[in-house]
Structure 1
Amino acid sequence: RAVLAAAGGVAAGGLTIGTAALLGGTGKGREPGGSPPEGEAAAAASEEAGTRAIADPVRRAGHLLRRAGFGGTPGDIAEFASLTPVEAADRLVDFEDMDNSGLEERIARANFNLTRLRGGDGRPGMASDMRAWWLTRMAYTARPLEERMTLIWHGLLTSELGKLGIPRTKFMLIQNELFRRMALPRYDDLLKAISRDPAMMVYLDTIQSSAAHPNENYARELMELFSMGVGNYTEQDVREAARAFTGWRLTAPPRVQLPEGASEAERRAAQDAAAEAYEPEFIIQPRLQDRGMKTFLGKTGPFGGDDIIDIIMSHDAPSRFIPVRLFREFVHANPGPETVAWLAEVWNGSGHDIREVVRAILKSAEFNSEAAYRAKIKSPVEFVVGAVRGLELETDFRATLRFWGPMGQTLFQPPNVAGWPGGPAWLASATLFARLNFLDAFLFPRGRPLRVEALLAREDAAGMVDEALRRLVDGVMSEGARAALVAHAESIRDPVERAATVAYLVLASPEYQLA
């Protein structure tokens, strides 16, 4: 931490990421390692950066792989640096033909528990291993955009395991596989699929909604968070939409039959076995369904749930809501009016095809501009998975699971229906310290340095630092910060400890916190 202070990563009074680094970023009106402009010069530089393309193909490739995936290995960076922005975007978006057998073989070797609720025989419970399984997919996939979109949908079309409860853990796995299967769908189809998804139906109470007692939770979030945004519908629209989803149910789970006098342990084991065997299927129960006339967004008819989605998707509001949400995921938080209008054109022209919207964003001048470079703060998932990919480390992520809560992003457990807030919330004082504690435990397990083979290939301290910078921050760091890292690395004689320490310091740097 003293070295971080010398490199400019620690402010007086506590360990914090430098404000200038987070708000300005590298490449936003200044060259890597330069001083940020001030006043009118800053405004002019910012405007220039908004239109200036990332000229360096290596930085451009790193930027693309961080935003459309979780970072890249040196091999990935070299491959994508050899492509034009258009070719690179197409390579990521059209991923279905990419061979992912290596990932599936790795998953099989790890023997993740995706079936038994409470584990046993030395194996973790299902919820824990589901998280490790998904992190492994993100870190070692040959289809990074597929996993990135799965994570985006998890944060947008949110459900959370805490409300579902342990017996329904499988529901979250079913939803995760739905998001992966429909990573780049026609959005209308995804909304209809998630409306029938078991986890969503439990999370937003569709399974409790009847003609006699319509539940408005799903209808409200369908419009507010999943498609239209606030201000584009009325409370009456919510009530009418809720009526259309009444009677939507799941098939009943198998009944648990126990002999008289069964112990509590036997009872729980039987209940767990029934929950593990349960394969929920969507059904509509006519006796609970409201089949009357409904007036919704100015249209009247005996609408059901799919009709409501069709009406929503024929409205103008989704064209200014979902594409903008995707732009903010991939580019930066503040698209201008012209960009919003352009996104709506792509949305409408493609028939709401997410693949084509994402393709257009990744090919756009705004995405490939200096204004977008390092303009977002990494989530904990990006922070950890990016380190594993960049340094080509081997892990099944099980040892990391205790750190995700303190870092602020436990998979399958977003804080509320709006998902994770993101942005500066990722780097509050507590969550930043949690990142450093994670690095300490991950790179120095039980107090002994991890062998970081990618850095051990470089024998001298300067070479080791430069290799870490190349792999993790596109080689971009100020000369003063680099010199501080090299000086500290030179003071460590043991090469294994030196490599782990260099990895720690670069991963803890302000530059690495930015995506």
Structure 2
Amino acid sequence: MNTMTPIDPDWAWSPYEPSPSQPWNHSLAAHLYRRAGFGHDWRMIELAVSQDPGDLVADLVSRNVEPGEFRETADALAEATLAGGDPEQLSAAWVYRLLYTPSQLLEKTTLFWHGHFATGAEKVNDARMMWAQNQLLRDHALGDFAALVHEISKDPAMLIYLDSAVNRKAHPNENFARELMELFCLGEGNYSEMDVQELARCFTGWEIKNRKFRKNRYQHDAASKTVLERSGDFDGEDGVQVVLQQPGVERFIVRKLLRFFVSDELNLTDQLVQPLANLFREQDLQIAPLVKQILGSNLFFSKVALAQKIKSPAELVIGMMRVLNATTNTQLVARGLRGIGQGLFYPPNVKGWDGGRAWINSSTLLGRSNLIADILESDATRFDGKNLTDYLTDLDVRTTDQAISFFERSLFAIQLDDSAKSQVRAAADSYAGDRERQMRSLLHSLSSLPASQLS
């Protein structure tokens, strides 16, 4: 099916049910785990095939809170990093969560909201504020979108990043008001310049003291405003609520989530989007039911979605490591991700990352390959606590061809052609006298192929 062909919404959003023409198999299970997280090892894929796909999706969505023990460990690591006050070091604490969280969909969606409500540490330059925002996104990632927007509007890092902390009655700053409508809730064309000006007045007097939000009533414009055809002596909370009541909100968010979870280049017609938009509004903008509907749908498990996304740097690197039960130096990963375009806490601008084809060019492809090489060559890198050779041997993967087959089914969304396999086999054979180096060379070569960039 061509991604530009109009898609029947009744078929698209009906629950996927295995059939002879579209059986539930290892490929679809791996697809689900890649998109609803960063991937699972082959044992988990085999277990998933024995389960009902609808039940599996429901289970993934239900894990919308981190288990207490894991959160305590991850928070303690972040707290130790915060003591140094360097936001760049904080990125490694998030890498730890990405690598080890038992709630992968929650963390994947937290990453989505970080790109949606993009806030950069270069401007904020306060590690504790950035981490507090990260926790805020995680707490609401699969929860109440309206609550998330209200909270992000008062978030100190956001107030600094979009200059809302200096929004004063005499000189209203329009940055946050504009992005609230354009980038966070409605999209271009759904508001006027007058709406921006009036909404900015609602937020006057909002500021930060001791890293916490507060209202300065002396700097607030208490006069009447008209925002999106609603009038009143609105404050900031009222302004946010007026925006959230607009019917464009549900369509805007649905479109972004579909591109994130399903395909970079879907033909998102109004007819295709509207049923999910209706569901989102009927569920009072609760995120989990919407994500569950997407992940359990015919469309998600169809050729329209399979291998139709380009992996972000985090999806490529974290995905490889999770699929192979790998561990390494999280600082190495964090620095490497920033070097190839996805620095955690360092989005390029308020629009976040463009994603899709924008992830890939000749420079970033080389950078991706080099980062994989750095990880594989690091003495800190282990696979289920072992070197790569012993890890593969424990899985009864002993020959080069067996390793190629194992890596192909574990890491790739599409089958490799014979020429690609011959290419990586030849590269690995040059290290025939050193089994460990041969296997790492093989994994590096496979991870550098164009096909490995597809999810």
TM-score by length of 1: 0.79
CA contact (8 A) 1:188 1:313 kept: yes
Offset, 1:372: 0.3
Please name the residue that 1:510 is paired with. 450
* DSSP 3-state at the match of 1:225: helix
* Equivalent residues in 2 for 1:30-429, closer than 5 Å: 55-96=23-64, 99=67, 101=69, 105=73, 113-117=80-84, 126-165=86-125, 168-251=126-209, 253=210, 280-332=211-263, 333-334=265-266, 335-429=268-362
Q: Is 1:477 equivalent to 2:416 in the alignment?
A: yes
Superposition RMSD on alpha carbons, in Å?
Answer: 2.6
Offset, 1:495: 1.1
Offset, 1:410: 0.8
CA contact (8 A) 1:237 1:295 kept: yes
1:290 is aligned with what amino acid? D
Alpha-carbon distance change, 479 to 43 in structure 1, aligned in 2, over 3 angstroms: farther
Offset, 1:127: 2.0
Offset, 1:296: 1.0
Deviations 1:418-460 (A, max 9, x none): 00111111111111111111122221238x9993243344221
Whole-Å separation in 2 of the counterparts to 1:454 and 1:84: 29
Amino-acid identity (%): 33
In structure 2, the gaps of 5 or more residues are 13-18
Whole-Å separation in 2 of the counterparts to 1:445 and 1:160: 29
Whole-Å separation in 2 of the counterparts to 1:430 and 1:379: 14
2:182 is aligned with what amino acid? E
* DSSP 3-state at the match of 2:185: coil
Please name the residue that 1:7 is paired with. none
Alpha-carbon distance change, 235 to 76 in structure 1, aligned in 2, over 3 angstroms: same
CA contact (8 A) 2:78 2:90 kept: no
Alpha-carbon distance change, 179 to 102 in structure 1, aligned in 2, over 3 angstroms: closer
Offset, 1:174: 0.4
Deviations 1:457-497 (A, max 9, x none): 42211112222222212683223322443444344221101
Deviations 1:158-194 (A, max 9, x none): 11011112xx221100000101111112211110000
1:216 is aligned with what amino acid? E
Alpha-carbon distance change, 436 to 346 in structure 1, aligned in 2, over 3 angstroms: same
Offset, 1:54: 5.0
* DSSP 3-state at the match of 1:415: coil
Structure with higher RCO (Cα < 8 A, 6+ apart): 1
In structure 1, the gaps of 5 or more residues are 1-27, 30-41, 119-125, 254-279
Deviations 1:114-137 (A, max 9, x none): 32235xxxxxxx323311111111
Deviation >4 Å, runs of 4+? 50-54, 96-100, 102-108
* DSSP 3-state at the match of 2:231: strand
2:257 is aligned with what amino acid? L
Whole-Å separation in 2 of the counterparts to 1:401 and 1:473: 23
Alpha-carbon distance change, 214 to 102 in structure 1, aligned in 2, over 3 angstroms: closer
* DSSP 3-state at the match of 2:80: coil
2:311 is aligned with what amino acid? K
* DSSP 3-state at the match of 1:249: strand
Number of residue-to-residue matches in the alignment? 435
CA contact (8 A) 1:456 1:496 kept: no
Larger radius of gyration: 1
Whole-Å separation in 2 of the counterparts to 1:311 and 1:432: 44
Alpha-carbon distance change, 355 to 385 in structure 1, aligned in 2, over 3 angstroms: same
Whole-Å separation in 1 of the counterparts to 2:26 and 2:75: 31
Whole-Å separation in 1 of the counterparts to 2:23 and 2:133: 40
Deviations 1:76-118 (A, max 9, x none): 322322233311211111004774635754775x687332235
Please name the residue that 2:400 is paired with. 461
Alpha-carbon distance change, 317 to 439 in structure 1, aligned in 2, over 3 angstroms: same
* DSSP 3-state at the match of 2:81: coil
* DSSP 3-state at the match of 2:326: coil
CA contact (8 A) 2:82 2:90 kept: no
TM-score by length of 2: 0.89
